[in-house]
Amino acid sequence: MGHIVLEKVKKKFGDVTVIPPLDLEVEDGEFVVFVGPSGCGKSTLLRLIAGLEDVSSGVIRINGQDATSVPPAKRGLAMVFQSYALYPHMTVRKNISFPLRMAKMDKAEQERRVEQAAAVLNLTDYLDRRPGQLSGGQRQRVAIGRAIVREPAAFLFDEPLSNLDAALRVGMRLEISGLHKRLETTMIYVTHDQVEAMTMADKIVVLHDGKIEQVGSPLELYRAPCNLFVAGFIGSPKMNFIDGEKAEEFNAHTIGIRSEHLVPSPTEGLWKGQVGLSEHLGSDTFLHVHMEKHAEPITVRSGGEVDIHHGDTIYLTPDKGHIYRFDDHGLRVD
């Protein structure tokens, strides 16, 4: 069971309000990802849920019970830190069993749970090593192991993959997703990487300056972002925004169009521009197209092996069904 509700939760550090009153519900068994730019309050929100910070006002309920002033250990949550926070002087076995030893659990049961977690996480061969003798990915798994053995109501992850290299990150992403499928425990996962958010989440919470901009499934956010911020944040490459005359033709203050919804053509189309840089990824090529009266280049996706070169004139035609229109407050209008 891991049903977490935040009601009007607010956090101030001194005079600075980092989290204005905020409501959020995390269902039991859900994989929720908090995503947002650096400094937007993701870690703070997670630490409020964990109990490492006290809320300035508001209520946190865990499984229906008011947990606002319950100490972290009693909340039944486990947390995995960005720095892993392993205990350097203890072996991997001791690290993983630490929460069990603190709970004075029966020795045989401790042993059983540690072995089981180690088997799940491929750590069996490393149980007698110290954290200093492990690679980054292995340390990460030890940190996860320490969280699993407690059989918590929910897991909290604070950017657990940001210290790993790109290849390992993809691997660990799958492992954590796999773990969620198997354990079916609530997970709250903080990241600033929207790819992690899109690939792992059941539900994404987009944060901006401590405020929730939008909550929804990855595809909901991709298909129907409610404002400019979410539209620009979700999706890779970033959505193109166009304002001025071209937007007015669509009765909007700003229009947004994703690179995959623009059709490039060397001969004809709605908008005319010049090709600047192009990024060849093999399967796709992203063209940066410069249009008159637009400082920002427009990113366009085209096939992997296109015959378009720097300086060529190009015409772009947006896919009418995928144009997002925003009013002058940045909110999307249908």
Partner 1 sequence: MATLDSRTISRMMMAPAVFLLLVWMLVPLTMTFYFSFKKFLPLRGGDLGWVGFENYIRFVTSSSFWPSVQATLAIVGGVLLITVFFAILLALLLDQPMWGQGIVRILVIAPFFVMPTVSALVWKNMFMDPVNGLFAHLWKFFGLAPFEWLSQASLLSVTMIVSWQWLPFATLILLTAIQSLDREQLEAAEIDGASTLARFYHIILPHLGQAITIVILIQTIFLLSIFAEIFVTTQGSFGTKTLTYLIFQRVLESQNVGLGSAGGVYAIILANIVAIFLMRIVGKNLDK
Ligand X SMILES: Nc1ncnc2c1ncn2[C@@H]1O[C@H](COP(=O)(O)OP(=O)(O)OP(=O)(O)O)[C@@H](O)[C@H]1O
Q: Which residue of 50, 197, 221, 289 would you call a contact of partner 1, by CB under 8 A?
A: 50
Binding region for partner 1 (CB under 8 A) out of 24-32, 75-83, 193-201, 265-273: 75-83
In the numeric block, the tokens 């110290």 are attached to: 130
Minimal distance in Å, beta carbon 106 to ligand X? 38
Structure tokens, 150? 């407690």
Neighbours of 131 (CB within 10 A): 20
131 vs 225, which CB is nearer to partner 1? 131
95 vs 227, which CB is nearer to partner 1? 95
* SS3 assignment, position 122: coil
Footprint of ligand X on 184-213 (CB under 6 A): 192
* SS3 assignment, position 216: strand
In the numeric block, the tokens 């069990």 are attached to: 100
Q: What is the DSSP letter of 76?
A: T
6 vs 289, which CB is nearer to ligand X? 6
Q: Cα–Cα distance between 61 and 26 in angstroms, integer?
A: 10
What phi-psi label fits residue 21: left (phi over 0), alpha (psi between -120 and 50 degrees) or beta? beta
11 vs 258, which CB is nearer to Mg ion? 11
Q: Cα–Cα distance between 10 and 160 in angstroms, integer?
A: 25
Q: Which residue of 57, 65, 69, 83 would you call a contact of partner 1, by CB under 8 A?
A: 83
Structure tokens, 43? 């870690």
What is the size of the binding site for ligand X (CB under 6 A)? 11
43 vs 240, which CB is nearer to Mg ion? 43
β-pairing, 203-208 vs 31-35, is parallel
Minimal distance in Å, beta carbon 201 to ligand X? 16
Q: Which residue of 5, 6, 9, 18 would you call a contact of ligand X, by CB under 6 A?
A: 18
Q: Cα–Cα distance between 161 and 182 in angstroms, integer?
A: 20
Q: Is 244 in the site for ligand X (CB under 6 A)?
A: no
**Residue type (1 letter), 45:** L
Minimal distance in Å, beta carbon 20 to partner 1? 25
Q: Is 99 in the site for partner 1 (CB under 8 A)?
A: yes
Q: Is 40 in the site for ligand X (CB under 6 A)?
A: yes
- Residue 44 contacts which entry, partner 1, Mg ion, ligand X, none (Cβ below 5-8 A, type-dependent): ligand X
Q: How far apart are the first and last CA of the chain?
A: 38
Binding region for ligand X (CB under 6 A) out of 37-45, 90-98, 228-236, 237-245: 37-45
How far CA 2 is from CA of 7, 29, 42, 61, 244, in Å, comes to: 16, 7, 19, 10, 48
Binding region for partner 1 (CB under 8 A) out of 44-52, 168-176, 185-193, 255-263: 44-52
- Residue 192 contacts which entry, Mg ion, ligand X, partner 1, none (Cβ below 5-8 A, type-dependent): ligand X
Q: Cα–Cα distance between 201 and 194 in angstroms, integer?
A: 10
The footprint of ligand X (CB under 6 A) covers 13, 18, 36, 38-44, 192
The footprint of Mg ion (CB under 5 A) covers 43
